[in-house]
């Protein structure tokens, strides 16, 4: 991957200097995982940061016998940084939702890069604060109607990872259980709301391609309260 493409794909590196990007590209390791494969396991010590080149992954947490999906990440995002920054075991699993291509940078080299490039260090802090704000927003919306919360989740995924197509904004056809978990509503409500949205023509699922199209993004955004 060329430095320009690397910079454009990953917002984390928008402000990094060219020397940083060239050095990172010389040390990254490429990975490919099929769907349902574990990428990272809970309680494993952090030894690398991972960057999503293509595909979708879910971050999940184990609570006894229960498994809860905490987040869905797609193209251009990263994970694994927290275990490195606080030098502790990982607290979550990361599972491939679809076939996924990743790049990884070892913990030692990633920390070295942050120290060498103050702009990258600052950008890392910005993105981590943004994730914290998103978590706070999710908490603030806990009393909203399930439909509003679910549409907000769909719009958020489209804003972060969606690809514009002639059929609408395209995202992965995320399983209802995972959608329900990250929205904090029941799987039963998720199924009913998704069917209603599809009957209205606002979304369209393509189960063969495992894609979901947000057709009426303007109406969905309005319903989610983002305008």
Domain spans of the chain, in order of start: 3-118, 140-223
Residue 107 to residue 87: CA distance in whole angstroms: 10
List the structure tokens of 11. 């917002």
List the structure tokens of 213. 């199209």
Query: How would you write the pLDDT of the chain (227 residues) with one tens digit per residue?
Result: 778 888 889 988 888 888 888 888 899 999 999 999 999 876 566 688 999 999 999 999 888 778 899 999 999 999 988 777 776 666 788 999 999 999 999 988 988 888 888 888 888 888 888 888 877 877 777 788 999 999 999 999 999 999 999 999 999 999 999 999 999 999 999 999 999 999 999 999 998 899 999 998 888 999 887 54
The predicted structure's pLDDT at residue 90:
67
The C-alpha angle with vertex 103 and arms to 116 and 55, in degrees rounded to 5, equals 135
Q: Cα torsion at 137, 41, 174, 30 (round to 10°)?
A: 110
Phi and psi angles of residue 144, each rounded to the nearest 5 degrees, phi first = -75, 160
Domain 3-118 has CATH 3.30.479.30: no
Domain 140-223 has CATH 1.10.10.10: yes
Residue 69: strand pairing partners: 60
The predicted structure's pLDDT at residue 5:
84
The predicted structure's pLDDT at residue 24:
87
Q: In what order do the strands lie in the sheet with 100-106?
A: 29-33, 100-106, 48-54, 78-79
List the structure tokens of 67. 């498994």
**Scanning the structure block, which residue is given the tokens 């209802």?**
176
The predicted structure's pLDDT at residue 227:
46
């Amino acid at each position: 991957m060329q430095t320009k493409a690397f910079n454009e794909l990953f917002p984390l590196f928008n402000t990094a200097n060219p020397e940083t990007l060239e050095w990172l590209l010389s040390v990254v390791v490429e990975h490919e995982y099929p769907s349902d494969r574990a990428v990272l396991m809970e309680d494993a010590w952090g030894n690398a940061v991972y960057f999503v080149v293509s595909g979708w992954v879910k971050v999940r947490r184990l609570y006894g016998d229960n498994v809860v999906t905490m987040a869905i990440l797609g193209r251009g995002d990263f994970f694994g940084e927290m275990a490195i920054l606080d030098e502790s075991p990982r607290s979550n699993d990361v599972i491939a939702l679809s076939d996924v291509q990743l790049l990884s940078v070892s913990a030692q080299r990633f920390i070295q890069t942050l120290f060498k490039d103050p702009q990258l260090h600052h950008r890392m802090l910005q993105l981590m604060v943004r994730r914290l704000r998103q978590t706070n927003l999710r908490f603030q919306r806990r009393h909203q109607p399930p439909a509003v919360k679910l549409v907000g989740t769909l719009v958020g995924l489209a804003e972060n990872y969606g690809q514009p197509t002639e059929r609408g904004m395209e995202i992965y056809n995320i399983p209802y259980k995972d959608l329900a978990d990250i929205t904090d509503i029941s799987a039963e409500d998720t199924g009913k709301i998704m069917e209603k949205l599809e009957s209205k023509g606002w979304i369209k699922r393509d189960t063969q391609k495992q894609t979901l199209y947000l057709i009426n993004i303007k109406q969905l955004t309005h319903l989610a309260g983002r305008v």
